[in-house]
C-alpha cells in the first residue's frame, strides 16, 4: 500500500486524502495527545502571523526602523511561506510526512529564537523570512497527519477542530502580543514559540513513530522553482523598498522590476508547458476554480490589509498601547469561534454564493464604518466594528474554498487547495506592503494640503500657534505640526478603508461568476486554507 500517493502538481498538499490508505489504518498510541500536538503546531503558526501585528510600532522603534520597514516583519514571513508551499508535496514524498512535520516544526523553533535575538531590522527580517520558509509545509502537513489518524467517519470533526484552532488564534494573537510587548519585551512574542514547538514536535514524532510511509525520489521542477523565487522575491522587495528608494527614480527598483517581470513571465510559460509543474496553473481552466480563487485572493488581501492597518493606526494616531490595541482588534475572532461549527454543518443547505456575498457585505460595511472614524473615536466603537467583521470572517473561508474546489477532478483537488493557499498567501503579503505605502503617501499628500492653508505672516495664526506652545512660538509650531500630521494620517486612513469597502463589494461579482453545483467531487482533502 502506498502511504504517500504521487501528487502531480499540488503546491502545499502532500497527499491525496490527508494521508494514504495505508497510514489511514495506523493509529498512534494516544490519539488525543497526537491531536493536541498537531493542533498546537497549527495554532503556533497561525498565532505567529497575528501576534506581531500589534507589536510593529514597538519593533520598528526599538530597532530604528521606519513605518514602512516595520511591515517587512510581516511581508518577509508571508512571501517566504508562499514560496515554500509548492515544495511541500515534493518534500513529503522524498522524506515522509512525519519527518517533514518534525523537521519543519523544529526549524520553526530555531527561526523563532533567531527572531527574538535579532538586534537590527535587517537581521529580524532575514530571520522572519527563514521562519516563513520553514512554516510553509507546516499547515498542509499538519492537516494531512491529523486526517490520517482518524477514521473516515470522524475526519469531518478533525477538520472542524483544525478550523477552530485557526480562528481562535486571531483572538489570542493581538491580546497576547500586546500583553507581552507592554509587560516584557517584543522579543518574547517569538520566544513563546520555542516551548510550544518543541513539545509539538516531540509528541507527534514519538506518537507517529512506526507510521508506514513509502518514500520516493520525485522529480523536482528546478526551473519553475528558480523563476518563482526570483520573480516573487524581487517583486516583494520592490514593494517593500519602493517608498524608501523613490520608486522608479532608483536604479535598484528598476532592476528589481525587470528581474521580477522576466522571471514571472518565464515562470508562467514554463508552468503551463511543463509535464510536472511545481505550480499547476492549468487548473485555472476550471470556471469555479478561477472565479473562487480570484475572490479568495482579492478578499483575503483586503482582509489582511485591515489586520495590518488597524493596529498601526490605533497605536500611532490614537496613542494606544500594544495591549489595548490587541484588546480593540481581538473581537474579530469571537463570532468565528461561535459560528464556525454551524457554518460547517449547515452551509451546504444554502447557496454558497449567497453565504459568501453576506460575508463580503459584512466586511464592506465594517470598512465603510472605519472610513468615518476620527481621532476622537472611542474604544467601544473600534471593538464593535471588529466584532461585526467577525460575521464576514465566519462566512468567508469555507464557502469560497468549497466553491473553488467544486469543479476540480478528484485527482486535482489537493493541487487546487494548495494553489489557492499559495496565491492567497502571496496576495496578503503584497497587500500589506501596498497598504502601508498608500497610507503613508496619502497622509503626506493631505499634510501638504493642510499646511498650504497656514500663513506664517498672518497675525492671528501666529497668535494661535504661540498659544498652543504656552507662549513659545517654536513649541507651538511643533504641536501644530503634530496635530496636522495626525489629521492627515486620519484622512488617509479613512480613504483607504473607503476603498477597501468598495473592493469587498466588487468581490461579490467574482463569486457569482461561479456556477453550481458546489459539492466537491470525491477525492483529496479539501483543506489548505486558514
| Pair 52, 189: CB distance under 8 Å | yes
- The pLDDT score that the predictor gives to residue 66 is 66
DSSP, res 85? G
The three grid cell numbers given for residue 515, joined into one nine-digit string: 456556477
- The pLDDT score that the predictor gives to residue 492 is 92
Candidates 3.30.413.10, 2.60.40.60, 1.20.1250.20, 3.30.540.10; CATH matching 21-221+274-443+490-511: 1.20.1250.20
**Residue 470: count of CB within 10 angstroms of its CB:** 9
Number of H helices, E strands in the chain: 22, 0
CA–CA gap between residue 143 and residue 42 (Å, rounded): 9
CA–CA gap between residue 516 and residue 511 (Å, rounded): 11
The three grid cell numbers given for residue 381, joined into one nine-digit string: 466603537
CA–CA gap between residue 429 and residue 236 (Å, rounded): 8
Classified as helix, coil or strand, 19 is: strand
Classified as helix, coil or strand, 25 is: coil
DSSP, res 8? S
**Residue 43: count of CB within 10 angstroms of its CB:** 21
CA–CA gap between residue 9 and residue 279 (Å, rounded): 6
Q: Which residues of the chain have pLDDT under 70?
A: 1-25, 53, 65-68, 153-164, 166-171, 244, 411, 414, 455-459, 468, 470-473, 519-530
Classified as helix, coil or strand, 367 is: helix
| Pair 473, 464: CB distance under 8 Å | no
- The pLDDT score that the predictor gives to residue 526 is 38
Q: Pseudo-torsion of CA 498, 503, 509, 510, nearest 10°? A: -170
pLDDT digits (tens, 9 = 90+) for 403-460: 888 887 776 776 777 788 888 888 887 888 788 888 888 888 888 887 777 766 666 7
Report pTM.
Answer: 0.78
Residues 6+ apart with CB under 8 A from 487: 375, 446, 450
- With cell 506652545, the residue in question is 469
| Pair 182, 323: CB distance under 8 Å | yes
| Pair 430, 300: CB distance under 8 Å | no
| Pair 446, 488: CB distance under 8 Å | yes
Peptide bond into 313 cis (omega under 30): no
Amino acid at each position: 500500500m502506498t502511504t504517500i500517493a504521487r501528487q502531480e502538481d499540488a503546491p502545499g498538499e502532500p497527499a491525496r486524502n490527508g494521508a494514504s490508505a495505508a497510514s489511514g489504518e495506523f493509529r498512534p498510541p494516544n490519539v488525543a495527545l497526537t491531536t493536541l500536538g498537531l493542533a498546537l503546531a497549527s495554532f503556533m503558526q497561525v498565532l505567529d502571523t497575528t501576534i506581531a501585528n500589534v507589536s510593529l510600532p514597538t519593533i520598528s522603534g526599538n530597532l530604528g526602523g521606519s513605518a514602512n520597514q516595520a511591515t517587512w516583519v510581516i511581508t518577509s514571513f508571508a512571501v517566504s511561506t508562499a514560496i515554500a508551499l509548492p515544495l511541500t508535496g515534493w518534500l513529503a514524498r522524498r522524506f515522509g510526512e512525519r519527518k517533514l512535520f518534525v523537521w519543519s516544526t523544529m526549524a520553526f523553533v530555531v527561526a523563532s529564537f533567531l527572531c527574538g535575538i535579532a538586534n537590527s531590522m535587517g537581521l529580524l527580517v532575514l530571520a522572519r523570512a527563514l521562519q516563513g520558509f520553514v512554516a510553509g509545509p507546516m499547515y498542509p502537513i499538519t492537516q494531512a497527519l491529523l486526517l490520517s489518524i482518524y477514521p473516515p467517519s470522524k475526519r469531518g470533526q478533525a477538520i472542524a477542530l483544525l478550523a477552530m484552532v485557526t480562528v481562535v488564534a486571531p483572538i489570542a494573537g493581538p491580546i497576547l502580543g500586546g500583553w507581552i510587548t507592554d509587560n516584557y519585551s517584543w522579543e518574547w512574542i517569538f520566544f513563546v514559540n520555542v516551548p510550544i514547538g518543541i513539545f509539538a514536535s516531540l509528541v507527534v514524532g514519538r506518537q507517529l513513530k512506526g507510521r508506514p510511509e513509502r518514500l520516493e525520489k520525485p522529480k523536482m521542477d528546478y526551473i519553475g522553482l528558480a523563476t518563482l523565487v526570483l520573480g516573487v522575491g524581487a517583486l516583494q522587495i520592490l514593494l517593500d523598498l519602493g517608498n524608501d528608494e523613490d520608486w522608479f527614480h532608483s536604479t535598484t527598483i528598476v532592476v528589481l522590476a525587470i528581474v521580477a517581470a522576466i522571471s514571472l513571465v518565464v515562470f508562467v510559460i514554463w508552468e503551463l508547458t511543463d509535464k510536472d509543474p511545481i505550480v499547476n496553473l492549468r487548473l485555472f481552466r476550471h470556471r469555479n476554480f478561477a472565479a473562487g480563487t480570484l475572490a479568495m485572493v482579492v478578499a483575503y488581501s483586503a482582509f489582511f490589509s485591515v489586520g495590518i492597518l488597524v493596529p498601526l493606526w490605533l497605536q500611532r494616531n490614537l496613542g494606544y498601547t500594544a495591549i489595548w490595541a490587541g484588546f480593540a482588534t481581538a473581537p474579530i475572532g469571537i463570532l468565528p469561534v461561535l459560528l464556525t461549527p454551524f457554518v460547517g454543518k449547515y452551509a451546504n443547505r444554502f447557496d454558497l454564493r449567497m453565504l459568501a456575498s453576506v460575508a463580503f457585505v459584512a466586511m464592506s460595511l465594517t470598512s465603510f464604518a472605519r472610513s468615518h472614524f476620527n481621532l476622537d473615536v472611542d474604544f467601544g466603537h473600534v471593538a464593535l466594528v471588529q466584532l461585526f467583521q467577525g460575521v464576514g470572517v465566519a462566512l468567508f473561508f469555507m464557502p469560497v474554498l468549497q466553491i473553488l474546489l467544486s469543479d476540480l477532478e478528484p485527482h486535482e483537488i489537493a493541487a487546487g487547495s494548495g494553489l489557492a493557499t499559495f496565491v492567497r498567501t502571496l496576495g496578503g503579503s503584497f497587500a500589506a506592503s501596498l497598504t502601508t505605502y498608500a497610507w503613508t503617501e496619502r497622509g503626506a499628500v493631505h499634510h501638504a494640503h493642510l499646511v498650504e492653508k497656514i500663513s506664517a505672516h498672518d497675525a492671528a495664526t501666529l497668535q494661535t500657534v504661540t498659544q498652543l506652545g504656552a507662549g513659545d512660538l517654536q513649541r507651538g509650531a511643533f504641536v501644530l505640526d503634530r496635530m496636522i500630521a495626525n489629521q492627515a494620517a486620519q484622512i488617509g486612513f479613512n480613504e483607504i478603508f473607503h476603498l477597501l469597502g468598495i473592493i469587498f463589494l466588487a468581490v461579490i461579482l467574482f463569486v457569482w461568476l461561479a456556477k453550481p453545483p458546489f459539492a466537491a467531487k470525491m477525492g483529496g482533502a479539501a483543506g489548505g486554507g486558514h
